[in-house]
Amino acid sequence: MDQNEKRQQNKANRRNSKRTPEGGKFWRNIITVLLVFLLLTSLYSVIVENQSNTPTIPISELVQDINAGKVSAITVQGDTLNIEYAKVGNNAPEKKIAQKETGTALTDTLAHYGVDLTKEKDVKIEIKDESGFLFWVATLLPFFGPLILIVVFLWFMTRQVKGSGMQAFTFGQSKARLISPTDKKQRVTFKDVAGVKEAKQELLEIVDFLKNPKKFLDIGARIPKGILLMGAPGTGKTLLARAVAGEAGVSFFSISGSEFVEMFVGVGASRVRDLFKMAKTAAPAIIFIDEIDAVGRSRGNGVGGGNDEREQTLNQILVEMDGFEPNEKVIVMAATNRPDVLDPALLRPGRFDRRVVLDLPDRADREEILRIHSKEKPFAEDVDLKVIAERTPGFSGADLYSLMNEGAILAARENRTKVAQYDLIRSIEKVMLGPERKSHILSTREKEITAYHEAGHAIIASVLEFADPVHKVSIISRGRAAGYTLKLPLEERKLQSKKEFLDDIAVSLGGYVVEKTIFGDLTTGSSNDLQVSTSLARDMITKYGMSEVIGPVALESSPGLSPTGKMSMERDYSEKTGSEIDKEVLELMNREYARALDVITKHREALNAIAKELIVVETIERAEFEKILVANGIVPKKKVDIKI
Ligand code: ADP
Ligand code: ZN
Ligand code: MG
């Protein structure tokens, strides 16, 4: 199964995981409200309980007790009589409560019940003001408690809304992050960026201008206003832009294209205005718009649908760039990995007319990048970054960065204090294919099919002359794939030949052929193989002129800017040619299917041996794999200087 798609998916996952949830604040507020509620209710119940613990007696009993000389004091609080009894022995004085009629005096009531006046004189009677704090709390809480709760709750909610929606109130202001030249911690220079020599060379001129603009202005040179960095994801575009600011020692304002488009109509444009105003005050400065394709998509060609907001933002960027005075020391840099979808208006002279391409690093660059990212990591003796660089063709700077990181994590997890070569080698596969999912259990039947499927790829890759040799075969699922065959080229290649393409297609079909011929049935496991190989076949015919039938024409220019500067997204051939292409693709695939079938039939024993071994051990490394090949009369491909 193919590795590219999985790699892409990993990247997407990595990107997603960067986003942090913002829900924490909300829950904190809810908890605060609940705590306040608990406090109030417990306070209330304490007060109420205090009163209800004392027994209540009728007035008649009180009068009897007074007459018997048991009562020592009465406190009148509204209509409530708090009665204190005389001490009996060492016990604390007993307390009771009685209720009198509303509106009558206590003495009247007592007289009415026939109290003994001489005894009454011994009782200390005290009239208390009703406004005691507890009294009020006790009477009012039942009514106002819920009200207070609601108010508190509403208050928290509004605070919440204000907090998260702060942008809604300050929406004009740009959300650009500023890295000031005095900030030594965040400073990045060209030393921190490995490889991309041509790009650095080009940008050196810009650094020079930002350092001494006078030299250029005196001679009447027009300095580019806009520089567009183009390159695959993770090639270091963002890093390089920061390095330019770091080298020149100027302020660096950065904002990403998607942040412009975020919330309300019209805000994108006003953010742009703010950003440029800020940068002009801080000049000399660099404005960096990351992922500019989010706003700078080609307008009005129907791709992605019309979006007024985006257009206004884009227009505002163009207006601001056009409005630069010639001696304004502000330079706009932008980055994209989709230069093909950009609006041609952005690329006109006077706008982003300097284009700097960042290539994927080659072997030497990769080694250098690894070195940069290994600075704070203690290495074991055996670490050889050259070998790692050799085994990572196609890795971007960001991939290499995460490889180093994974290596360190592996070492730490196994409680070692140094990163070993073995950790780094394991990390290559992790970065390339995603983590192993050992927990994903295949049924016995699935395991058998997957083993044969992968063995099919592996055998064909080993037999066909121009296919990349096999480094590892495994039926442990990684990412979405049930198993994988890891093939690595013997040497770095810039050009690919027709023969290599054909062998690649045959290898991709290996799994399909095996399932069909050996199991007499097909699974969905081949769908990615088919997609990749079919689109390769189509490209061979329509882009590279590799078909005898269609001939030496490029029928689909790669999407994007054609040499004339126009966007060419539509196909530019006739219906008839279209159906010829379809026919040719099918024939090509059929021819490769036959070749794959031929290999499988000839080397059936080797296939069985590999598949059986896979079912038992699940993963076969290169050395082991080649032993099985030799045992079955297949000569392994020439060894290169790649150590395991
Ligand atoms: P891009 O913007 O092109 O997608 P980034 O600049 O965000 O890529 O790169 C992500 C990370 O990968 C960087 O922070 C850096 O750690 C690492 N990296 C990428 N390219 C290089 C390089 N050429 N040299 C050193 N590190 C690199
Ligand atoms: Zn496959
Ligand atoms: Mg970036």
CA of 456 to the centre of ligand 2 (A): 8
Non-local (6+) Cβ contacts of 318 within 8 A are 345, 346, 351
* Nearest residue to 447 via CA among 480, 479, 483: 483
Identify the residue whose C-alpha is closest to ligand 1 atom 1. Answer: 234
Do β-strands 354-358 and 251-256 pair in parallel, antiparallel, or remain unpaired? unpaired
**Does the domain at residues 54-130 carry the CATH identifier 3.30.720.210?**
yes
Residue with tokens 């045959």: 506
Residue 330: strand pairing partners: 285
454 included as an active-site residue = yes
CA of 501 to the centre of ligand 1 (A): 30
Predicted pLDDT of residue 503: 93
Mean pLDDT of all residues belonging to the chain: 80
CA 299: distance to chain centroid?
Answer: 28
Predicted pLDDT of residue 166: 41
Lowest mean pLDDT among 478-482, 503-507, 630-634: 478-482
pLDDT tens for 5-34 read 444 444 444 444 333 344 556 677 778 778
Q: What is the 3-state secondary structure (H, E, C) of 510-544?
A: HHHHHHHHHCCCCCHHHHHHHHHHHHHHHHHHHCC
Please check the confidence at residue 137 and state whether its pLDDT lies above 60.
yes
CATH topology assigned to domain 363-432: Helicase, Ruva Protein; domain 3 (1.10.8)
Backbone angles phi, psi at 455, to 5 degrees: -60, -35
The CA distance from 27 to 30, in Å, is 5
Predicted pLDDT of residue 300: 54
The CA distance from 545 to 327, in Å, is 49
Identify the residue whose C-alpha is closest to ligand 1 atom 5. Answer: 236
How close are the terminal C-alpha atoms of the chain, in Å?
23
Residue 570: strand pairing partners: none
- Name the band, by pLDDT with cuts 50, 70 and 90, for residue 264: low
The CA distance from 208 to 529, in Å, is 50
> Of 455 and 477, which is predicted with more confidence?
455
- Element of type H or E holding 126: strand 124-128
Predicted pLDDT of residue 131: 57
Atom of ligand 1 nearest to the CA of 239: 6
Predicted pLDDT of residue 432: 79
The CA distance from 275 to 268, in Å, is 11
530: left (phi over 0), alpha (psi -120 to 50) or beta: alpha
Identify the residue whose C-alpha is closest to ligand 1 atom 6. Answer: 236
The CA distance from 131 to 336, in Å, is 73
Non-local (6+) Cβ contacts of 150 within 8 A are none
CA angle 132, 133, 136 (to 5 degrees): 90
pTM of the model: 0.60
Q: What percent of the chain has pLDDT over 70?
A: 80
Lowest mean pLDDT among 104-108, 301-305, 417-421, 545-549: 301-305
Greatest mean pLDDT among 8-12, 88-92, 570-574, 628-632 lies in 628-632
Please check the confidence at residue 335 and state whether its pLDDT lies above 50.
yes
* Nearest residue to 223 via CA among 267, 140, 284, 151: 284
Please check the confidence at residue 2 and state whether its pLDDT lies above 70.
no
Query: Which of 229, 239, 356, 367 has most ligand 1 atoms within 8 Å of its beta carbon, as the pocket-test mutant?
Result: 239
Please check the confidence at residue 327 and state whether its pLDDT lies above 60.
yes
CA of 237 to the centre of ligand 3 (A): 6
| Nearest ligand by distance to the CA of 396 | 1
For the record, the structure tokens of 392 come out as 């990572």
Please check the confidence at residue 412 and state whether its pLDDT lies above 60.
yes
Start-end of H helices in 53-165: 59-67, 106-112, 117-122, 133-164
3-state SS, residue 113? coil
From 120, 367, 454, 592, active-site residue: 454
CA of 229 to the centre of ligand 3 (A): 10
Number of H helices, E strands in the chain: 23, 15
Query: What stretch(es) of the chain map to CATH 1.20.58.760?
Result: 444-631
The CA distance from 115 to 108, in Å, is 10
| Nearest ligand by distance to the CA of 358 | 1
The CA distance from 252 to 288, in Å, is 7
CATH topology assigned to domain 177-358: Rossmann fold (3.40.50)
CA angle 535, 449, 485 (to 5 degrees): 50
Query: What stretch(es) of the chain map to CATH 1.10.8.60?
Result: 363-432
> Of 51 and 204, which is predicted with more confidence?
204
Q: What residues are in contact with ligand 1 under a 6 Å CB criterion?
A: 193-196, 231, 233-239, 335, 369, 372, 397-398, 401
The CA distance from 103 to 109, in Å, is 10
For the record, the structure tokens of 310 come out as 């985006």
Greatest mean pLDDT among 22-36, 394-408, 556-570, 587-601 lies in 587-601
* Nearest residue to 94 via CA among 48, 47, 57, 49: 57
For the record, the structure tokens of 324 come out as 């630069």
Identify the residue whose C-alpha is closest to ligand 1 atom 7. Answer: 238
Please check the confidence at residue 69 and state whether its pLDDT lies above 60.
yes
Backbone angles phi, psi at 288, to 5 degrees: -120, 120
Query: What stretch(es) of the chain map to CATH 3.40.50.300?
Result: 177-358
Greatest mean pLDDT among 42-56, 62-76, 404-418 lies in 404-418
Angle between helices 4-18 and 527-542 (to 10 degrees): 110
CATH number given to 444-631? 1.20.58.760
> Of 604 and 120, which is predicted with more confidence?
604
Predicted pLDDT of residue 261: 66
| Nearest ligand by distance to the CA of 371 | 1
pLDDT tens for 363-383 read 888 999 999 998 888 888 888
pLDDT tens for 159-194 read 655 544 444 444 456 667 787 777 777 788 899 999
Query: What stretch(es) of the chain map to CATH 3.30.720.210?
Result: 54-130
CA of 24 to the centre of ligand 1 (A): 31
The CA distance from 464 to 513, in Å, is 15
